[in-house]
Structure 1
Amino acid sequence: MEQAAILDAAGWTGPNGDVWAQEWRRTDRSFAALSAELDRTIAHVMGEGPVAVADIGCGAGGTALAAADANRHAQVTGIDISAALIAVARERAGANANIRFIAAPVEQAIGAAGPFDLIVSRHGVMFFADPVDAFTRLRAGTRPGGRLVFSCFRAPADNVWARETMAAVGEAPPAADGYAPGPFAFADADFVRGLLAQAGWVQVEARPVDFLYRAGSGEDPVADAVGFFSRIGPAARALKMADPAERPAIVAAVRALCAARLSDGHVDFPAAAWIWSARIPA
């Protein structure tokens, strides 16, 4: 495992996962417009009959819960490496009988938890140390003819929320060459298509989806957005790394950026994702 991947996994089992667990309401809100489209796609693929579904990198459980609600005959399993996020997901699920959550690395858990008819994910697939191996394991945990549906970000240049926050805090966009786990690791459609083919998936298709990334709302949407970006994303990284004396200037730059995006009581940024679908041979 590469050092970057080791650090990334450690972050999700520690501080990163903890922050996302604390911020699940605002992260779900930021993805709400995309989630609506992804959930419709998943519901269409599931159909109405019995089906075993795995939500990989399930986070706080939003996509898994939507799938379980859409088809009461489905048995949905959410898997995430973060115990803190899984605790939130379990609390949200309550006594729902057709959903369960597992705190474990997806690559390790998928075989024992399956087999599945459908693998889904909302932005949970871009953090594998070895993505070809991971998607090969996902295929092995899927029944013949099984399906795959997941979303991921397109390039930073197409995601104004990322491009502008990176510029505001002086962060360079991630390198386009080579694979490194991270939010934009699957931005290159040719790369993703190739790795899925290597992993044995067929009928691979990508659909671009543009959506509004909602960063702030409520009584003071700008303050809400600044608070959100101070916890998650490029501004949060910059604040963590900066000297204390530099932090007020970073916060001021983010506040100006968010104020410029305030409209109709919300702070929204254009965002861009892929929704991928594939299957394995019957």
Structure 2
Amino acid sequence: MRALAELVMRGQKHAAVVAVVAALLPLLYWISAAAVALVTLRRGPSDGAGLLVWAILPAGVWTYSGDPTPLVVIAGTYVLAILLRQTVSWPRVLMLALPLGALMALLLETALSGVIGQMVEMTQQLLEQSTTSAEADKLLTTETLNAILVGGLSAVHTAMILLSLILARSWQSGLYNPGGFQQEFHQMRLPATYTALLLAALVLGSQVGLEIWRWLPLVLLPWIICGIALIHGSVAKRDLGRSWLVGFYLAVVFFGPYMILLLVAAAVLDSFVDFRSRMPVKN
């Protein structure tokens, strides 16, 4: 990965080749997004925009063929890279990612309406096979299923944008400030004000009748990322070794929903308590 980052920063032509080829190849658009973000972080929005134009060309082809994901992820990563360069604040980036994800939810619902409809029908058929039709109607209506799928898609796309930005930041740190990103990530947490706003939005949204299932995965995303940062920062501060991180990610794989809830709860508490500042350093 370091060699790829060096190639991107070697010059605009090399960066354009990486961005175009990665955007053309299936499932490698995140590399193109990270390349655009790296140039933006290091050289500014103007140079980043020049590379963005090259990356959008193949991404536009994918969009025309029915898959807007590369275009959405590359463009979204560029926007957040500008914010990170200007503010050098991960909490602000995580919070701005939420309205960006909400906008993507509306775009994806329109662009992928046919695919989402097919997924809703397949899910309903599976529910009807496992339960009676009356029970299935009570469990999940068509509208609820549509909201869940759209919310999940928007959260996944937003997560891909944030991960591409994190990759770009780690590339920048590796090339120009070794160890800098690790320190940033280990200290990443949402301030209490931001957490209070998110909690209030969830409570008020459920009270006024908003589709909570549509927005819940997206709202939880900043806490999930900060929860992962809390684990990494705590392991590093206590010098527990990589085996603890391996165990953590295995637990995420095998106990996914439960671990997600634990990460969210830990991140919420960390916003008010700041566990890492109270944690003693291992001698």
TM-score (ref. length: structure 2): 0.23
Greater C-alpha radius of gyration: 2
Specify which structure has the higher proportion of helix: 2
Specify which structure has the higher proportion of strand: 1
TM-score (ref. length: structure 1): 0.23
Q: Tell which has more relative contact order, 1 or 2 (C-alpha 8 A, sep 6+).
A: 1
